Structure 1
Amino acid sequence: MKLSELSCGVNGVVTGMSELPAATRKKLMVMGLLPNTEVTVIRLAPLGDPLQVRVRGVDIALRKQIAANIDVEVR
């Protein structure tokens, strides 16, 4: 499942980000979005882009296009 498909309040674990460009993947990893890390969707913007996710206690706003390239497993 993709991160962009999760509903608000749902937890998931990142399983892969291989579809992202290397520069974008590196920036997300510096912010704490690593494989096997728990992520929670906090809320969506009114038009659905961006979405707010919580990773390791920090909230990050991600564009839906980027979130659509992050694989997660629902927990």
Structure 2
Amino acid sequence: MKLSEMACGVSAVVSDLSALPAATRKKLMVMGVLPNTELSVVRIAPMGDPLQVRVRGVDIALRKQIAANIDVEVR
């Protein structure tokens, strides 16, 4: 499943980031979005972009285009 397809309040584990460009992937990894890391969607903006995602206790706003390239496994 893609991160952009998740509903609010759902938790998942990051499984793959390889579809992202290298620069974007590095920035997300520095912010804690790593493979096998649990994250949850806190809120989705009214127009669907951006998503508020909680990773390791920190909230990050991700564009839907970026979230569509992050594979997750729902728990």
With normalisation by structure 2, the TM-score equals 0.99
Aligned partner of 2:28: which letter? Answer: L
2:6 maps to what in 1? Answer: 6
Per-residue deviation, 1:35 = 0.2
Question: What percent identity do the matched residue pairs reach?
Answer: 81
Aligned partner of 2:63: which letter? Answer: R
Q: Measure, in 1, the Cα distance between the counterparts of 2:2 and 2:17.
A: 10
Per-residue deviation, 1:54 = 0.1
For these two proteins, the number of residue pairs brought into alignment is 75
- Structure 2 matches for 1:31-42, cutoff 5 A? 31-42=31-42
2:20 maps to what in 1? Answer: 20
SS of the aligned residue for 1:53 comes to: strand
Aligned partner of 1:45: which letter? Answer: A
Per-residue deviation, 1:8 = 0.0
Per-residue deviation, 1:38 = 0.2
Q: Measure, in 2, the Cα distance between the counterparts of 1:39 and 1:57.
A: 9
Runs of at least 5 residues in structure 2 that lack an aligned partner in the other structure: none
Per-residue deviation, 1:13 = 0.1
- 2:49 matched to 1:45? no
